[in-house]
Amino acid sequence: MATTKILPVRKRLKDCLDYAANPKKTEIFRGDALDRLMHYTQNEDKTEHQLYVTGFNCDPQNACLIMEATKRRWHKDIGHGNVGYHIIQSFKPGEASPDQVHQIGCELARRCLADRFECTVSTHLDKGHLHNHIVVNSVSFMDGKMFRNDFKTYYQGIRKVSDDLCRQNQLSVIETDGRGISYGEWRNRREGKPTLRGMVKADVEMALAESSDFDDFVGKLQKMGYEVKYGPRVKHMAVRHQDSKRFVRLDGVAPQFSEAELRAFFTQLKKLPPEMQQEYQAENQPVQQSWQKEPELPVVRRVRCRSRLNRPYKKVGGIMACYYHYCALLRRNYRGRSGRRCYYLLREDFSKFNRYRRQCDLLWEQKIESTEELRTYKARLTHELEVLTQKRKYLYNHKEVLTPDVRNRRLEELSARMRTVRRELNTCTDIGTDAAALLLKWQEVRQAEKEEREVNENEQRRRSR
């Protein structure tokens, strides 16, 4: 059994540079993509000192140079596009000898490629399965035309010739019914998900294993919820589940599920003695699909829930904490949620709430907790403003440096950033002016709240007596 596939060989400079620059990689590249491919397929460790390497229209040792010379002679690009094609022919383990595998690969290259292209055939012996690597030039040495890697070249050429050679050498061949499947069904099969045809096949096999004749088989399907179409007036036997919208041909699910094959199966079953009927039906037992998994026991997991009340936030301090608490006091007292004395102490600052809020936001975003950090940040903003001013001045004085559109867009970006920096500088200046007074006011309000709380406690204690 030989499987074949064809891969284009492309030279991607960026990918090669990224790969070569990666320090975790240890592979050393040799030349361009075609040269690297020749080096791999003719590796001495894989071919036992190149005992199974054959060249057609070229010398295997200089195959890359000969192929490049062919490209130059016909004025083709050497390092761009598809520089060659790589055909891999793999055989079933233990089915053929190395000599036979190499002979089949050479015959495949001789029939499909050697009349117009240079190619090499290398048989690798390093895996559990023997396989041929056929590297063919993308440019013909006869007329300079490119190798066409299309549907006809592969299916009616390479794959057909490979299957014919396997049959001639009495090797197994993968037989197909010539029918394909939809992309959705192929994807579901690959992902292990249930498909309509897969479920129909499983149900048909189950009914087939439990039935004694054809009528019993149809009755089992009807009990499963299928509507069955069969008989002399029906060309193809088909079923439709009660939850489905369309019929499915049974011979499309599997060739042995056609009406004629099923009737022949039950006819043969009746001719067998009872003890052999069970063995005959056991051969058609349904195979468990990948999506039909055994029920698993529930797993008990303990999860600890953490609410926002006990979330470990970092505790802040300094002027950042002072501004944060003072803004909270202003908001609470403005809404009447505090005592009258605190309300009158903070009444003058109600109109400055937005000013304090901007200062608090700046301190919180920049994580500033001390006056030293505030001075450092203000100095950094001052330096940035000077640099932006110089850049904008240069663009104003040298109009010929950039195009008008790019210059105007760059000026708008610089002006917008300068406005933001000036706004933050003014906020830093306001913090330096208001921080000391705000700290005193906050301490005074806290003392007032403490005294008012003591008065309320004494009054409640007196009334309770």
State the Cα–Cα distance between residues 136 and 55, nearest whole angstrom. 10
More confident residue, 227 or 13: 227
Q: What is the pLDDT of residue 197?
A: 77
Local confidence band at 77 (pLDDT 50, 70, 90 cut-offs) = confident
**What size, in residues, is the chain?**
465
Q: What is the pLDDT of residue 137?
A: 86
pLDDT tens per residue, range 207-218: 887 888 888 888
Per the listing, tokens 């029920």 go with: 295
Q: What is the pLDDT of residue 104?
A: 92
State the Cα–Cα distance between residues 197 and 292, nearest whole angstrom. 14
Mean pLDDT, rounded, for 55-66:
84
Q: What is the pLDDT of residue 40?
A: 55
More confident residue, 112 or 465: 112
Q: What is the pLDDT of residue 337?
A: 57
Whether the Cβ atoms of residue 136 and residue 87 lie closer than 8 Å to each other: yes
Q: What is the pLDDT of residue 422?
A: 92
Q: Of the ranges 11-20, 57-66, 176-185, which one carries the lowest mean pLDDT score?
A: 11-20
**pLDDT for residue 107 is more than 90:** yes
User: Which of 72-81, 246-255, 422-431 has maximum average pLDDT?
Assistant: 422-431
Please provide the average confidence, as pLDDT, over all residues in the chain.
77
DSSP 315: P
Bridge-partner residues for 6, per DSSP? 87
Mean pLDDT, rounded, for 287-297:
49
Local confidence band at 182 (pLDDT 50, 70, 90 cut-offs) = low
Local confidence band at 243 (pLDDT 50, 70, 90 cut-offs) = confident
What are the φ and ψ backbone dihedral angles of 101, each rounded to 5 degrees? Answer: -65, -45
User: Which of 42-56, 126-140, 407-421 has maximum average pLDDT?
Assistant: 407-421
The DSSP code sequence of 156-174 is IIIHHHHHHHHHHTT----
Whether the Cβ atoms of residue 445 and residue 345 lie closer than 8 Å to each other: yes
CATH topology of domain 2-168: BirA Bifunctional Protein; domain 2 (3.30.930)
**pLDDT for residue 223 is more than 80:** yes
**pLDDT for residue 25 is more than 90:** no
Q: Of the ranges 50-54, 277-281, 417-421, which one carries the lowest mean pLDDT score?
A: 277-281
pLDDT tens per residue, range 369-401: 888 888 899 999 999 999 889 888 888 888 777
**pLDDT for residue 29 is more than 50:** no
Q: What is the pLDDT of residue 301?
A: 64
CA distances from 411 to 7, 381, 388, 390, 400 (A): 52, 19, 10, 12, 14
Rounded to two decimals, the pTM is 0.43
Joined together, the tokens standing for residue 316 give 């802040």
What are the φ and ψ backbone dihedral angles of 298, each rounded to 5 degrees? Answer: -65, 140
* % residues pLDDT > 90 (the chain): 9
State the Cα–Cα distance between residues 101 and 93, nearest whole angstrom. 11
**pLDDT for residue 250 is more than 80:** yes
Q: What is the pLDDT of residue 274?
A: 65
Per the listing, tokens 């940040």 go with: 377
**pLDDT for residue 49 is more than 70:** no
Identify the H or E element spanning 84.
Answer: strand 82-91
**pLDDT for residue 162 is more than 70:** yes
- Within 8 A by CB and 6+ apart from 173, the residues are 1, 2, 163, 166, 167
Mean pLDDT, rounded, for 328-345:
64
Local confidence band at 28 (pLDDT 50, 70, 90 cut-offs) = very low
Domain limits of the chain? 2-168, 195-282, 318-464
**Closest alpha carbon to 7 in 33, 28, 32:** 33
Local confidence band at 21 (pLDDT 50, 70, 90 cut-offs) = very low
**pLDDT for residue 131 is more than 90:** no
Identify the H or E element spanning 40.
Answer: helix 33-41
- Within 8 A by CB and 6+ apart from 188, the residues are 194, 195, 198
State the Cα–Cα distance between residues 311 and 307, nearest whole angstrom. 6
State the Cα–Cα distance between residues 90 and 5, nearest whole angstrom. 9
- Within 8 A by CB and 6+ apart from 351, the residues are none
Mean pLDDT, rounded, for 55-79:
84
User: Helix 183-191 crosses helix 196-210 at what angle (to 10 degrees)?
Assistant: 70
**Closest alpha carbon to 113 in 132, 133, 136:** 136
